[in-house]
Amino acid sequence: MQRVTQPVLEPNELTLHGHRVSYGKAGRGPVLLLLHGITNSSETWERVASRLSERFTLIAPDLLGHGNSATPRGDYSLGAHASAVRDVLTSLGHERVTVIGHSLGGGIAMQFAYQFPERCERLVLVSSGGLGREVHLLLRAAALPGADWVLPVIASRRLLDVGRSLGALLQRVRLAPGGDLEVLARGFASLDNAGSRQAFLHTVRAVIEPGGQRVSASDRLALAARLPTLIVWGERDSIIPVDHGAAAHHAMPGSRFEVFPAAGHMPHDDDPDRFAAILTAFCDGTEPARLSADHWQPLRGDGPA
C-alpha cells in the first residue's frame, strides 16, 4: 500500500494528567477530530489529510497506548478514550468539532457524542466498531486467556512481511482483500514493546471477547436523530463487515451511508479523493448540531417505574 513520505499532519505533543499525548495538526477552518483504530495511529489519516486540510483544521491524536502517545497502566475503555480526546480538544482551545472515527475510533466517536453532545457538531463513522458482534478472528483471539504470552511472538517485524505476502496471495485467489491483512499485520508489528502490548490487550478486551465485539451502541443509535451522521464502509471489509454499516444506517434516522466497492477496512486510505469529496460535501450540506450537555435525557425514556 502506498505511503506518504512527507507528513501533512504536523507532529505535536502535550501532557495531560501526567501522560504524553501525541497528535497531528494541519489546515485551517472548521475542526475535524480524526480518531484512528486499534494498533493504528494518526498516520492512518495521512493520505486524506492533504485534501481535507484545504478546508478544515485537522486534529488527529494518537490515542493513549498507540503511536507516540504514552502507554500508562489504567483505563482503556471507550469512555476513558472519549474523555481523553475531550481533554485534548480543551487544551487546544477547540470547543466544538465534527468527530470522525475509524474502527475502534468509531466506537470512541459514538461514545464522545453520547458523553459530550455539546462538543459534537457531526458524527462520521468509518468501518466502525460497536455496531455488531462480528469482528476478525485475530482480534477475537487477542481476548483469549494466554494472549499475553503469545503476543510478543506474533508482534514482530517479520509479521509485516508475512502479512504483505499472504495478503497478496489471498487477493490473487480472491479469498480475502490483501490490504486488510496488511493492516492487521502492520498493526501487530507496531506492538514492539511491553507497554504498547499491554495497552493493546487492555483496549481490545474492553470492546472484544472471544465470541466477538462485546460493546454495542445499537440501543443508542436512534438518539442521533438530531446529530448529522455519515457512515462510510468498504464493501470488501474483512475485519468488520459492511452489514454493520447498513444496519446502523437503518437505525439512525437521517443518516447517510456510503459504500466504497473496491475498498477494504480502510476506505479513507484506499480512496482518499472520494473520501475527502464525500466528507466535504457532507459538512457543506448539513448544519452543525448545537446540542446541550443533557440533550439525551428526554430522549432516553428514563424515569421512575
Catalytic residue annotation: 103, 237, 265
- Rounded distance between C-alpha atoms, residue 196 and residue 264, angstroms: 25
CB atoms within 10 A of CB 24: 24
- The residue among 268, 273, 269, 265 whose CA lies nearest residue 236 is 265
121: amino acid identity, one letter? E
Grid cell, residue 284, equals: 457543506
Q: Residue 92: how many CA atoms within 13 Å on its side-chain side?
A: 24
